[in-house]
Structure 1
């Protein structure tokens, strides 16, 4: 632990000790501005924090910065519109290589899947030769890059040349898949859950792809990202936010009633869809980030740099374990 980190920890601990001695009504909640996509999974978490009063328990004044889509969250953080953004650590790693002092704490390890329609004869990746595969994102989307590497390893050929990829936003490729204009779709976990409830099935999960490429355990890719310097200067209590998140996840991991209450935000098309979303979310609730996750993230970073070059991870990006927030700091 550096002198700076030690001083910061002592200062934070002293502040919290004083706060706990104050009457509840005398404590001033400290604001935290967190990004969230409307109706996205982070909004479910925020709603649970507020309903269960975990923000009050931890002395948080939680402000939601709504963003149009996931790529907009990092923009909000860098522009100063948000204190904490939810995004991929691969993006944060690229920013650290540019000199930004970003930190990452895991939000979810849930990953998407390569799916085929109900009744499809495809049983494996090899069965998609000559087929149209919808891909949520672009040609440098991490899942697509990793799937291509996996196909070269297990099939000896690039799936990008064996099949016809069709790129687009997640809602668009989902609609095309549901309308029968795509033979398979590689999509994010929230969409995969809804498709599963509608009868679609996995050909290959991204967790299996990452494991098949020699990376284990699968490190959570999505998490809370903030600037150490700005959090210190503005006294933004990220530790309290993470504590409230942990409390809310305990509820979401155990309580089916909590999920029933979230129906208006989730907007499931059926009971089966709600069940599938609940299952995916619960499977992705992460534990603390430790040495095993750091080691796996290092392997995955090396792999992404080799596969995606500068387009995917940015010129000059290197692995930096200082990005990852652990219980030790």
Structure 2
């Protein structure tokens, strides 16, 4: 496995859920091996592409590589077990700094939120000082780093010093919040949507945080990532995949029936929960990537480096506009 750290391998655990894939010469000519976390939003997109016959329309064969986590997806790409993965461009930027010729095309601008109980008096970041705040991830999670910067800008104080952060996996901090043991929770968008459907209130979106830090427009943080050389050398039809994604998202943006079709994959417990997730997803559908998005991504990269993002700084990452596929 090329240049994959021991830490990444441990984090991946049982990385690939699917059986080992066939070498590319035995795959269909128009095949793309796309990684997907089981029941994640990419699986919803894949189901829509297939159900609507979009893959046949654009001449694409999707060979789905099921993975257990985003760390496993990264390993799948770097070890040539997948042609395309969905991950954040900051990870891809780090890999370009190491010499990988990765490319990124936007998938979603959906971001997480700070959620509070419906009856909480908290209205702004200042009201969370001295409170117990659940954080999905770790102390080096980008949303937490950005929230800390936002708190310093808005209040002159670092919320990490003025509150009691509780770090953990998204499901864990969600349950802690539901149990009333947390005053607020900073969570990924899917969990924020589910909490909103249960009656929690969005106090602050990460979109508000990013805007508050002077980054505009908000660049899609999550997107399709592939090796430019592999795609060119092996004729992998990434363009067909991106076309299929746009057509499928056009369906998901307008058809409520399409959401009923993928309801079993989303695993919701109520119509209200489905509607909340649908609305968050729709708000994150992108219009593409251009010069303005590249400039915003550069500003965010430099901001994260300035804030001391351990992974970016530790890897000596520098912004590279050639990462972005336009």
TM-score (norm 2): 0.90
Counterpart of 1:47? Answer: 47
CA distance in 2, matches of 1:168, 1:37: 19
Counterpart of 2:13? Answer: none
Counterpart of 1:23? Answer: none
Counterpart of 1:4? Answer: none
CA distance in 1, matches of 2:315, 2:274: 41
CA distance in 1, matches of 2:216, 2:258: 32
CA contact (8 A) 1:36 1:66 kept: yes
CA distance in 1, matches of 2:42, 2:284: 13
CA distance in 1, matches of 2:39, 2:191: 13
Q: Which runs of 5+ in 1 are unaligned?
A: 1-27
CA contact (8 A) 1:54 1:244 kept: yes
CA distance in 2, matches of 1:224, 1:58: 18
CA distance in 2, matches of 1:106, 1:303: 20
CA distance in 1, matches of 2:202, 2:313: 28
Counterpart of 1:153? Answer: 153
SS in 2 for 1:111: coil
Deviation digits for residues 166-217 of structure 1 (CA, Å, limit 9, x no counterpart): 1111111111111111111001111111111011111110000000001000
Residue 275 of structure 2 corresponds to residue 266 of structure 1: no
Cα RMSD (Å) of the superposition?
Answer: 1.0
Counterpart of 1:5? Answer: none
Query: Displacement, 1:125?
Result: 1.1
Counterpart of 1:284? Answer: 284
SS in 1 for 2:308: helix
CA contact (8 A) 1:91 1:313 kept: no
Counterpart of 2:123? Answer: 123
Query: Displacement, 1:309?
Result: 4.2
Counterpart of 1:210? Answer: 210
In our comparison, the structure showing a higher alpha carbon Rg is 1
SS in 1 for 2:242: helix
Counterpart of 2:99? Answer: 99
SS in 2 for 1:71: helix
Q: Which moved more, 1:312-321 or 1:199-208?
A: 312-321
CA contact (8 A) 2:140 2:310 kept: no
CA contact (8 A) 1:90 1:313 kept: no
Residue 303 of structure 2 corresponds to residue 303 of structure 1: yes
Query: Displacement, 1:30?
Result: 1.4
Query: Displacement, 1:313?
Result: 4.9
TM-score (norm 1): 0.89
CA contact (8 A) 1:84 1:226 kept: yes
- 1:310–1:175 Cα change, 3 Å: closer
Residue 140 of structure 2 corresponds to residue 140 of structure 1: yes
Counterpart of 1:16? Answer: none
